[in-house]
Structure 1
Amino acid sequence: MESAIFEIFDGLPRQGPGSNECTEKAFNMLSSLPAGTKILDIGCGVGMQTIHLAKICKDCYITATDIYQPFLDKLMENAAKEGLDDRISTVCASMDDLPFEAGEFDVIWAEGSIFILGFEKGISYWKQFLKSGGYMAVTENTWFTNEPSEEVVEFWQEIYPGIMNIPDTEKVITAAGYDVIDNFKLPVSAWYEFYDNLEKRVDEISDNYKGNTEAEMILEFNRKEIKLFRERPDEYGYAFYIFQKNKL
């Protein structure tokens, strides 16, 4: 099953919904970054956002982490093509067991990855690696309606029962010792582009897993996920949350 998951996402330009425009919009909400800003990109995948961060922040040094080494290899291959490999390094590590020093980073970035830990657990654990006054910018699954349809509720109860609306998510951020700076919804177009690529990839590799019951379940789940979002794009999605660690 794990093999199928990695094969699906290894073939995508981005491992979750997002865009360079959204990455840049979130980054522009950060202020007073020091010279030689150190950014930690957690769950980076093949690093489309990592590379864009390096492009828009020319005095930043980025450490990108993922649990899957082939993603990191692809990231560094692309970084070298862009002439950015001198400011990007990678570490193969699980996001719940990171090998860094306390207060090592000015910014922690996580697009499409924190749900693996859970939002509250993620921002609480990662907080130790931020300097006082350091920033965190993450995308999180979010309700955009107070009355989601029954089918959508059932789907999210199965895969991520911790999904919240924007006000409740911001309460969690504040309770964890951060000051909220801003948030914004990712546009539906970011999901459609991701799902178009995902759907093609699922179709491409389906024959490789015929007879593998667990893998077939994963592929079918992806098809269900894509179909549901196309039917209900206004009920849920990602919001980008930008917040700052309380200054000591």
Structure 2
Amino acid sequence: MNEIDPFKLFLELQLALPRNAPGSARATREAFSLLPALPPRPEIADLGCGQGAEAFELLRLANGRITAVDLFEPFLEKLAERAEREGVPETRLRVLRGDMNDLPFHDGEFDLIWSEGAIYLLGFEEGLRLWRRFLKPGGFAVLSELTWLTDAPSPEAAVFWEDAYPGMGSVASNGEAAARAGYRLIGRIVLPTEEWWQDYYMPMRAKLAGMRRTYGELPVFDEMEREICLFERHADEYGYVFYALRRD
């Protein structure tokens, strides 16, 4: 029997979810409300957009153009299919396959950079440094980032995230990192616990059950379930935080 590629399993799982990170349309709107007034037709980049759930909410919130960027073509195909169904023109939504570490944009191209649950792939401070030049002077970045909410996490949570995301910071350390990267913090919001469940962990658990029936018991499925169980026990210790930042 051929070995099953864990990355293909990851893609299959993620493509079945309503969102590709914890969040909601409500959370996107609340984070957007932290911003001062944008230009009448802002240029916005949604980096690590996945299937674009937040991109479509941003289209409703801002009368500008969204450039939605992700590395994985299957996500972008689903995003483009939705745009076609909903009649969104390319003048409002541009879909681009690209690496967040090597973006093909001009300096000062955007009024706002948005990214939900994706900057961890670069590291919070490094991602902010890399993306800063693409913002106009005084432009904004809004990002959700997995963050410690306690200075004394339980051993179980600490061991898990030391392996899964060793660079995870606290609210305070992320604020300091943003300042070092050339930004001023203008607001932040902690994502409510329930918004991990409705569009992310609950459908993930259901999809995992189906994948176990299809592929059998695999270690990758156990690891995904372990993450969900950890959050059930320690949701008060870590979470996603939206940081609204202004380029100095």
Question: Is TM more than 0.5 here?
Answer: yes
Residues 1:72 and 2:88 aligned together: no
- Aligned equivalents of 2:65, 2:31: Cα separation in 1: 17
Q: Note the aligned Cα RMSD (angstroms).
A: 1.2
Q: Take 1:130 and 1:190, find their aligned partners in 2: how far apart are those partners?
A: 29
- State which of 211, 214, 236 in structure 1 corresponds to 2:238: 236
Match of 1:197 among 198, 203, 212: 203
| Residue type of the alignment partner of 2:84 | A
1:84 equivalent in alignment to 2:88: yes
Secondary structure in 1 aligned to 2:133?
A: helix
The gaps in structure 1 that reach 5 residues or longer are none
**Which among 105, 111, 114 is matched to residue 110 of structure 2?**
105
Aligned residues: 241
Identify the residue that residue 29 of structure 2 maps to in structure 1. 24
SS of the aligned residue for 2:40 comes to coil
TM-score, L = length of structure 1:
0.94
Q: Which letter maps to 1:122?
A: G
Percent identity between the two aligned chains:
38
Give the alignment of 1:22-171 within 5 angstroms: 22-57=27-62, 59-86=63-90, 87-171=92-176
Secondary structure class of the residue paired with 1:16: coil
Compute the displacement of 1:200 (Å): 0.9
TM-score by length of 2: 0.94
Matches of 1:192 and 1:231 in 2, distance apart?
A: 14
Q: CA deviation at 1:77?
A: 1.7
Q: Is the 8 A contact 1:54 1:84 kept in 2?
A: no
> Per the alignment, in what secondary structure is the counterpart of residue 103 of structure 2?
coil
Task: Provide the rounded CA distance (Å) in 1 between the counterparts of 2:89 and 2:29.
Answer: 20
Q: How big is each residue's C-alpha offset from its partner over 1:32-65, in whole Å with a ceiling of 9 and x where there is no partner? A: 31122000000101111000110121x1100001
Q: C-alpha deviations, 1:77-105, integer Å up to 9, x for none?
A: 22233332341111111111111111111
Q: Residues of 1 paired with 2:220 and 2:89: CA distance?
A: 34
SS of match in other structure, 1:30: coil
